[in-house]
Structures are given as structure tokens and as C-alpha cells.
Structure 1
Amino acid sequence: MKAQKALLQSGLLALSLIASSVMAAVSAGDAAKLGTTLTPVGAEKAGNADGSIPAWNGGLPTNAGASDDRGFLADPFANEKPLFTITAQNVEQYKDKLSPGQLAMFKRYPQTFRIPVYPSHRTATLPNGVLADIKANATTARLVQGGNGLENFKTAIPFPIPQNGLEVIWNHITRYRGGSAKRLVVQVTPQTNGSYSPVYLQDEFAFPSSLSDYDPGKQGNILFYFKQRVTAPSRLAGNVLLVHETLDQVKEPRLAWIYNAGQRRVRRAPQVSYDGPGTAADGLRTSDNLDMYNGAPDRYDWQLVGKQEMYIPYNAYALDSPKLKYDDIVKAGHINQDLTRYELHRVWHVTATLKSSERHIYAKRDFFIDEDTWQAAVIDHYDGRGQLWRVAEAHAQYYYDKQVPWYTVETLYDIISGRYLALGMKNQEKRAYEFGLKYSTADFTPAALRQAGVR
């Protein structure tokens, strides 16, 4: 693997050392590889040498399984059994395909933490129109403002053939999430003994393509709108967060507002960014931990380490089963790993190091980003002393009926305190994710927050 990393660090990837202000789009010749030797989103189309990672063959079809009356998808791989299970007893055998954070989890929880490894399936693809925009991005999209914004960007994934770490991160930030989505999900922050009180959230995302009145002249710097309403417990119910996420956060920083149901007032919320506290998270995640990582990348220096093979959470249909209760999933120390599924996939490894002039509770972050979806799969977080602090794993699934890759459950483990956060569970909710909803910009104004916050 070291030789593989060294090879990837040479040549084109050496451009990661070049200042972002002079980064340019790739040539038409390189872009022509998309759909031939590369998948339409820029992953290696071929499998690996021993076949443990298969070739990409177009992903799952939209009719790969049935959907129940709540929108939960059938597991296309329900009959598969693990190839093997990694435990604290045999982890040394597999350590070259695990992150330092994953290895630390085995040390922290030697009796209970395990990684069941299943056959690898490259399930994801995107709608044809989105793929066409991604191919156009390859030769037109550029970083601006020192890498903190984009220009000439369409829909999703501006850099399918990335030349540096910052471009990889922008692919994660801008990846396709269905145009618009609504979800009813649960967040838990268990005590060390596993006891927890769930927080119920209603999230709504809207990207420009889903807005009936989108005007590029007025909203051209908007990446997406996000609204989050707390529906329970009663002490938090009715509080609403609104975010206008911008593409160029130097030119126009993220705009955020909070409606406080107790005070019945809307106020600006500049703390909803960077290491500001996450909603109802008991101090266990920052604002930029949501969606594994979000927001302006300007506080870090980004280095593309290379590409590697790694066991990452994948195709988490079993974890999303509507037959499960939250008590089946939430356990002391970590979620129930017997319900998880890991597969061997290729990931981009990017390291973020805090700039000396900036402040953040995480001094360093190691990102491992799936090549087929550009979703962050694992992120290791280090404190100011250089000590490994928190380990994030995203248990992802492909919503094949809508051609949308996204997360089933995001976990963030504090290996020092022994507590963790799990966000995104919906097993007991009345609906699974809903995609393709139509919104207007009026749905995401500060004036709309009061109506959204009615208990």
C-alpha cells in the first residue's frame, strides 16, 4: 500500500502543493476519461488486482428492490453473510486497511467493537442529467478566493478528477443529495452505560435545482438551504435552525438564524459554523461535524495524501431496517456493530491541518472519502495536543429508487470520554427520506421560521 500511495502522490497529485489561487480545470483529454477508464463521477472503473473490489458496472438499477409503505427500501444483499469479522484479537492482520481511529476503537472497546466485512458492491450512480453536469464541471469549474469558493459550477461534484486535497473536500461538500430532501430522524448522545434520551429532528434540504423561483442573478452564491426543526423532547420542541449555505463563504459567509420557541423570537446565529456547538448534541459534535463535514474550508491547510483501499461502512440497509427499534441499535460505547456492514473500497485520503492563524477545537482531521460517491466515510479528529480524540464513521446506503447516495447513520465516537453521538436513525419514524420535493425561496426565509416552530 505504501508503494501505491507513493505512486499516487507523484505526477498529477503533486499539484496539491500548488496554491489554490492558480488551480485550473482539467483538460478535455483528461475529462474524456470520465465514463471510459473512470466512472462518470471520477472513480477508477476497474476493480482491484485480486478482485476483492469489483469493477463498477453502472450501480444498482432503480428497481433493485421493493419499497414499503413508509418508503424504506429492501436490502438487495439480505442473504449475504460476512466474509470475516475483525475483532480486537485479529485486528493486527487487517490494520493496513483501517484508519488510526478505527484501530483505536478496538483498543477502547476490545470486548464489543467489531467490524463485519461483507463482499464489496459498487452500488452507486446518479441521474444522467447530473452526470452530464459533472462532466462539464471537469473542464470549467475552478476554485476561487483561495479555495474557499467555486465558479463555473453546476449541480454537484465540481472536480471529478481532483488535483489536490481541497478539490476532494469540495466534492464531498457539493455531492448530489437528490436536489431536495426531507427527513425525520433521531439523534442520540448515550451515557457511558448506554442510557439515552432521543432528540427528534425534522430536516429539510433544498438545492437551487429544486426551487420553483430560483434566480441565478439573486441566489447565484447559494449552495443549498437547510431548515432543521426539533420536534421532541418537549423542552426543545419548536426550536428551528435555518441556514443559507453559500458557495463562496469569503465573499458571503454562511447565513444562519434560530427561532427559539420559548422566547418566540428569531435571531441571527453566527455560532452555527466551524466548531460552534451542534444542535442538541450535549457537546459531542461541532456544527461542522454535521454531514460528517460541512462549511467553509478556510481554517485548514488541505493535503491530498493519496488513494488507498479501506474497510468502510457501506450498503447499510440492514441498519436502516424498519423492523429495528432504536434500543436495538444504541448500545454502551458504540452502536450495535452486529447490525453494521463494512466493505473494502477505494478511498481518497485527505489531511486537514489547522492554520497557525486560525482557531478550532480540532487541530487535525484525517478524511477518508469514498471514490464512488465522494461521501466522507471515516474521519479521525485530533485535539491541539495531537491526541486522537473523536472518530467519525458514516454508515451509508444508496437510495437506488431515487439514485441518491446518502447516510443512514452518522456516528461520532469520543474515545477519551467513552461517549458518542449517533445521528440519522429513522427506523421507528413514519417516513423514510423523501426526495424530489418542490420548494420556493419563501420556505427558507427568517420570516418562515415562526410558522415552522409551532409546537
Structure 2
Amino acid sequence: MTKTQIWVPVVTTIALSLAATSVSAKVSEAEAAKLGKELTCVGAEAAGNKEGTIPPFSGKWLGTPPGIKYSLHTGQHPVDVYPDDKPLFQITAANMDKYADKLSEGQKAMLKKYPDTFRIPVYQSRRDFRYPDAICEVAKKNALEAELTDGGLGYTGYKGPVGFPIPKSAMEVLANMNFPYRAYTEEMVRDIADVASDGSVTWGRQVNKNLNIVTQPTELGKPMEGLMAYSLSGTLLPERDRGSFTASQEPVNFAKAKRLAWQYDPGTRRVRQLPTYGFDSPLGGTSGKLTIDQDRLMNGDPSRYEWKLLGKREMYIPANAYRIHSNKVKYADLLQKGHANPDFERYELRRVWVLEGNLKDGYRHAFGKRVMFIDEDNWQASVGDYYDTRGQLWQHAFINHYYAFDLNAWQAGTSFYHDLNSGSYVGFNLIQEREKGYVLNKGDLTPEMYTPASLRALGQ
């Protein structure tokens, strides 16, 4: 039995085929009929667990809950809908063995490396938010009709929600992770903290404008084809890189097209097409500490890895993470030596799909293996463990997700990427001290903003 197999108990009743590249069959009418009943409309198990530590899905709220004051699409910082919740208990280095079966290898490594300061505060699990009915309808249609193509690099189906709410293979789970229902326009000025092992901080700052085509309201239910998304990022810090802009276009199917990207260099005042954009190229503003395909823990072309589905398990992951995104949080309090201050974190016991990617022979990447833990309720990767090409655990990362009222779905918020060797870490998508948080679904972005000509105009 391998090291990873030890801690991956399969708790789902759905049968799984672990073949990563086979063309998957559509689910039957009987299976699809479970959506919205035994399963949520996107395929999560609606029932709680037998211990009562994971509650049944209530789905009682769509959008802003009663009593919450929030201005949609303005960049207002998230408002905590559970302000009176207190931790049920804390997982520490002293008691981690008691909870080991519900922790990732990276979480265990963090507890061991920082036994006096790192802890996991566990709160009551909450499953109170739901998706719009229109999304649920397309998800059921995808369950009945969607199929993988091109070795899993594409699929037939319809835009909007996930393609495979009742997945049967690794590549179906990967497709769901890459195409969850999320914001169709996302704008932010994000701070990026490169925190050295001694606690000192080197700051990066970027302006980002992302247009997600497959979740645009006008594209809902249309065939899954063409472009997935556009992205524009401009560097504000560090000062030496200020004024550099990159625009990219992402295809739906990497077997039929590749990610295209152009960069404006303020030094030469010229725009050039980047020969390769993605994989383990350095992510701007992170001092080279993050790779481009680590944003959202994994993104882009997955073809350099062989993917295996290790089943579903219960795990403590960040969830309903409202408090950490408050504009009352100060970076000086949040960013501590070794890791972020656990006082601002909220973990819950939830069910996750476990997806493992191993670097193919003959391919190059900084990571020899990556393990993704994907929340069954929203299909977004919440925790990632990264291994070097020798098979040694190297990095542990996690994203603080919360349900955003602007989009009636879950938003990937502030994330942390820890180098377990050096003791440094990167705080990413920090908006706590920015005037605005994430501006979601404002609807003011267009494809014309992501061209070489638009980059030249930005540089003027």
C-alpha cells in the first residue's frame, strides 16, 4: 500500500472508474434523477454523515441571506453570515494523530514544522447556500449528455455549471475542477506577500481583470466549445516591474488549441507574444515563488500529468471563510512568521474528491506530483499538496473560499502557498487592506480588452 493510499477512504456510494483517459459514458436517467434529491444539483451528497459532523445540505439561501446588508457588484468586502460561530476545537501538533485520517500530508507537515504556532481551528460545518435553478437545469442536462473527448482534454456538454455532476473518472473530476460555476467577470487589485522564513515581507501588487466566457449569462446552456476565459494582469509592485501587462486567452479544449498570451514591456514599450504561458513559468508579482498553473491550485493544460482519482473522503478544509476577507483585518496581524495567523481562518469538516497528478515520463515541470482536494459542494480545489521530482513533499497550499452573493456561487479568495523546505510562504489574492475587495459579475469586461492592441493602449 502506498503512502497516499493509506489515508484515502472512499466514503461515497457512487461507483468510480479510475481510468483517466477512457471516454466516459453518460449517466442513466435513473442516476440523473438523483440530482436535486439524494444529491445536490451539482452532485454533492445531500445527506450528512452518520456521525452528524457533516450536516445535510439545506440550501436555504440563494444570494444574500436575510438581514445581511451588502451592495452587489461593487467590491464590498465579504460580510460574515456566521459571526457568532466559535471554533468547536483546534487541531494542533499535540493532538493531530486523533484527526490524522482527515488531514492531508501537507497539513500534517505544517503541524509538525510549526508545532507551537500552526493550528487548524475547526468550526461547525455549514451547507446553507445553493445555486440558481437555471444552473441546476443545465447541470442535469450535462449529466445526461456530456462526454469526454480528446483523452479528457475536452468534453461535449453545455456551458455554465460543471460537466459531470456524477463523475466516473479522474478526468471528469478534473474537468469539473477546471469548469466550476463561478464569476463571469472578476476585477481586483490584489496584494501579494512573499513572506521570508524570518517573517520579513516583500510586496507584490497586481491589477487583474478576468472574463470567464463559459459562465456568462448569455452563454448559459450553449455548447461547450471555443474559448474558456480571458485574463489581464498588470504589475504595480515590485517597482522594477511596474507597468508590465499580460493578456491571455484560454481555450476550452487544450487538444485543439493552446493558451495564447501577449506581454507589454514598459522598458521597450513593445508588445510581444509569449511562446509559452502557463505550466511552471513564474507567476507575476510572486518573486518567482508561484507557478502560473498554481493559481486556484491548478489551472490550464493538464496534459503533462497522468491523473488518478483516489476517491472521496472527509477532510478539514477552509470553508465559509468570510472573516479573513474583512477590511478590518490588517496585514500586520494576518501575516506571521511561517504561516498566516490561524485566528482568521475557518476550517470545516467536508467531503472532498481527491485527485492526484503524476508527471509523465519525458515531460518537464517543477512538480513531480500534485494532489488536489476538491470540495464536493462547489467543485473548487481547496487544498493542494505539491511534491518535487524526487517524490518529496515540497509545498502545501490552500484557498479560503466563501459564497459570494454577487454571483450566487463560491469565490476563491485569499490563499497561502507554503514552502516546507525554506519556511517561506506567499499570501496571494490579499484584498484586506485594499479600498475594494473582489468586484464580481459587474459585467463590464469585453473580449476586445484582451488583445495586443489593448496592451499597447494600456502602455501609453
Q: Same fold (TM over 0.5)?
A: yes
- Preserved contact between residue 77 and residue 326 of structure 2 (Cα < 8 Å): yes
- Tell me what 1:254 maps to: 259
Taking the aligned partners of 2:216 and 2:376, their CA distance within structure 1 comes to 29
Describe how 1:46-195 pairs up with structure 2 within 5 A.
46-58=47-59, 60-64=61-65, 65-67=68-70, 71-195=76-200
- Tell me what 1:12 maps to: 15
Taking the aligned partners of 2:11 and 2:83, their CA distance within structure 1 comes to 38
Taking the aligned partners of 1:208 and 1:102, their CA distance within structure 2 comes to 34
Task: Report the secondary structure of 1:319's partner residue.
Answer: helix
Taking the aligned partners of 2:428 and 2:162, their CA distance within structure 1 comes to 24
- 1:413 matches 2:418: yes
Taking the aligned partners of 1:66 and 1:325, their CA distance within structure 2 comes to 22
Task: Report the secondary structure of 1:413's partner residue.
Answer: strand
- 1:347 matches 2:352: yes
| TM-score, structure 1 normalization | 0.93
- Tell me what 1:35 maps to: 36
Taking the aligned partners of 2:381 and 2:261, their CA distance within structure 1 comes to 24
- Preserved contact between residue 146 and residue 156 of structure 2 (Cα < 8 Å): yes
Taking the aligned partners of 2:146 and 2:247, their CA distance within structure 1 comes to 28
- Tell me what 1:424 maps to: 429
- Preserved contact between residue 182 and residue 204 of structure 1 (Cα < 8 Å): yes
- 1:392 matches 2:394: no
- Preserved contact between residue 47 and residue 57 of structure 2 (Cα < 8 Å): yes
Taking the aligned partners of 1:58 and 1:219, their CA distance within structure 2 comes to 27
Taking the aligned partners of 2:305 and 2:75, their CA distance within structure 1 comes to 41
Aligned length: 451
Task: Report the secondary structure of 1:53's partner residue.
Answer: coil
Deviation digits for residues 185-220 of structure 1 (CA, Å, limit 9, x no counterpart):
111111111111321211111122677998x99994
- How much does 1:401 deviate? 4.3
Deviation digits for residues 86-135 of structure 1 (CA, Å, limit 9, x no counterpart):
11111111111100100000111111111110100014422222222222
Q: Structure 1 residues 243, 11: CA separation in 2 closer, same or farther (over 3 Å shift)?
A: same
Amino acid at match of 2:9: K
Deviation digits for residues 421-447 of structure 1 (CA, Å, limit 9, x no counterpart):
111110111212122213322112121
- Tell me what 2:444 maps to: 438
Q: Structure 1 residues 356, 70: CA separation in 2 closer, same or farther (over 3 Å shift)?
A: closer
Taking the aligned partners of 2:266 and 2:222, their CA distance within structure 1 comes to 34
Taking the aligned partners of 2:207 and 2:392, their CA distance within structure 1 comes to 35
Amino acid at match of 1:445: T
Taking the aligned partners of 1:93 and 1:318, their CA distance within structure 2 comes to 27
Taking the aligned partners of 1:260 and 1:218, their CA distance within structure 2 comes to 37
| TM-score, structure 2 normalization | 0.92
- Preserved contact between residue 312 and residue 344 of structure 1 (Cα < 8 Å): yes
Taking the aligned partners of 1:364 and 1:338, their CA distance within structure 2 comes to 31
- How much does 1:453 deviate? 4.1
- 1:263 matches 2:268: yes
Taking the aligned partners of 2:458 and 2:28, their CA distance within structure 1 comes to 47
Q: Structure 1 residues 34, 76: CA separation in 2 closer, same or farther (over 3 Å shift)?
A: same
Deviation digits for residues 390-439 of structure 1 (CA, Å, limit 9, x no counterpart):
01111111113431201221111110011111111101112121222133
Taking the aligned partners of 1:399 and 1:388, their CA distance within structure 2 comes to 33
- Tell me what 1:292 maps to: 297
Higher mean C-alpha displacement, 62-71 vs 378-387: 62-71
- Preserved contact between residue 319 and residue 408 of structure 1 (Cα < 8 Å): no
- Preserved contact between residue 238 and residue 260 of structure 1 (Cα < 8 Å): yes
- Preserved contact between residue 5 and residue 308 of structure 1 (Cα < 8 Å): yes
For structure 2, list consecutive stretches of 5 or more residues without a partner in the other structure: none
Q: Structure 1 residues 171, 11: CA separation in 2 closer, same or farther (over 3 Å shift)?
A: closer
Amino acid at match of 1:435: L
Describe how 1:297-312 pairs up with structure 2 within 5 A.
297-312=302-317
Taking the aligned partners of 1:136 and 1:218, their CA distance within structure 2 comes to 11
Higher mean C-alpha displacement, 85-94 vs 393-402: 393-402
Q: Structure 1 residues 62, 217: CA separation in 2 closer, same or farther (over 3 Å shift)?
A: closer
- How much does 1:450 deviate? 2.2
Higher mean C-alpha displacement, 33-42 vs 52-61: 52-61
Amino acid at match of 1:62: G
Task: Report the secondary structure of 1:259's partner residue.
Answer: strand
Taking the aligned partners of 1:126 and 1:186, their CA distance within structure 2 comes to 30
Taking the aligned partners of 1:324 and 1:335, their CA distance within structure 2 comes to 12
Amino acid at match of 2:343: D
- Preserved contact between residue 313 and residue 342 of structure 1 (Cα < 8 Å): yes
Deviation digits for residues 212-263 of structure 1 (CA, Å, limit 9, x no counterpart):
998x999942011111112234322221111101111121111111111222
Task: Report the secondary structure of 2:288's partner residue.
Answer: coil
Taking the aligned partners of 1:190 and 1:74, their CA distance within structure 2 comes to 27
Taking the aligned partners of 2:86 and 2:397, their CA distance within structure 1 comes to 25
- Tell me what 2:236 maps to: 231
Q: Structure 1 residues 218, 377: CA separation in 2 closer, same or farther (over 3 Å shift)?
A: closer
Higher mean C-alpha displacement, 407-416 vs 22-31: 22-31
- Preserved contact between residue 177 and residue 405 of structure 1 (Cα < 8 Å): yes
- How much does 1:171 deviate? 0.7
Task: Report the secondary structure of 1:235's partner residue.
Answer: helix
- How much does 1:70 deviate? 5.2
Taking the aligned partners of 2:199 and 2:424, their CA distance within structure 1 comes to 9
Higher mean C-alpha displacement, 179-188 vs 444-453: 444-453
Q: Structure 1 residues 453, 128: CA separation in 2 closer, same or farther (over 3 Å shift)?
A: farther
Task: Report the secondary structure of 1:189's partner residue.
Answer: strand
Taking the aligned partners of 1:211 and 1:106, their CA distance within structure 2 comes to 41
Taking the aligned partners of 1:166 and 1:105, their CA distance within structure 2 comes to 29
Taking the aligned partners of 1:3 and 1:269, their CA distance within structure 2 comes to 41
Report the identity percentage.
37
- Preserved contact between residue 313 and residue 395 of structure 1 (Cα < 8 Å): yes
Amino acid at match of 2:51: D
- Tell me what 2:24 maps to: 23
Deviation digits for residues 327-363 of structure 1 (CA, Å, limit 9, x no counterpart):
2211111111111110000000111111113221111
